[in-house]
Amino acid sequence: MTATPLLRKTFTVQEFRQILELDFLQDTRLELLNGEIIDMGKIGPRHAAIVRRLTRLLSQQLDPTQATLDVQNPIEISPNSQPQPDLSLLVSREDDYEARHPLPSDVVLLIEVADTTLESDRKIKVPLYSQAGIPEVWLVDLNGKMLTAHRQPSPQGYRLVQLQSFDDTISPLRLPDVSLSLRSLFPQ
């Protein structure tokens, strides 16, 4: 007896928005990756604390004309992918993206904070961001207390991947005056 293949349905961003508008999944954090609806799970206290700390550390240094700091909001990166990175630095706009979600060309830097999702973020989201041409992605590993900077996107993946450890300081390529000390991100 041959096994019947599972029937899978992929979605577009437009269909995904319609599903979200139905509001029957109101307590579920969802994002659309490669046409698949992904349950992002609950945010734990440690994850939330690091996102708050990143928000504070970056917003203290940002000139609002340089970039807009966005927290856990969608980026429309293709017709079938609308991830929600933990933080985004976006090109500043007067309308604060009221008419549409930001596109890859609007992104200066994306930051993903991961503990339980580290492998899927590394294997699914980071390559997706590279294919979309997102110029820079930082993947913060809560368990290892490290940050991996992904730069120089290409369809095959980021050409430059740099591991930053506890004693390092990093700046976004497009905002060299903004810096983040990993020591301040992970205080003892």
Q: What is the CATH number of the domain that holds 68?
A: 3.90.1570.10
For residue 117, give its domain range.
Answer: 44-185
Count: domains in the chain = 1
Kindly state the tokens that stand for 78. Answer: 């293709």
| 31 in a structural domain | no
| 34 in a structural domain | no
Which pTM was predicted?
Answer: 0.86
Predicted confidence (pLDDT) at residue 6 exceeds the cutoff of 80: no
| Cα dist from 27 to 37, 39, 113, 115, 132, whole Å | 15, 11, 21, 21, 29
pLDDT for res 162: 96
> Tell me: the pLDDT tens digits for 139-175?
999 999 999 999 999 999 999 999 998 889 999 999 9
CA distance 121 to 98: 28
| 82 in a structural domain | yes
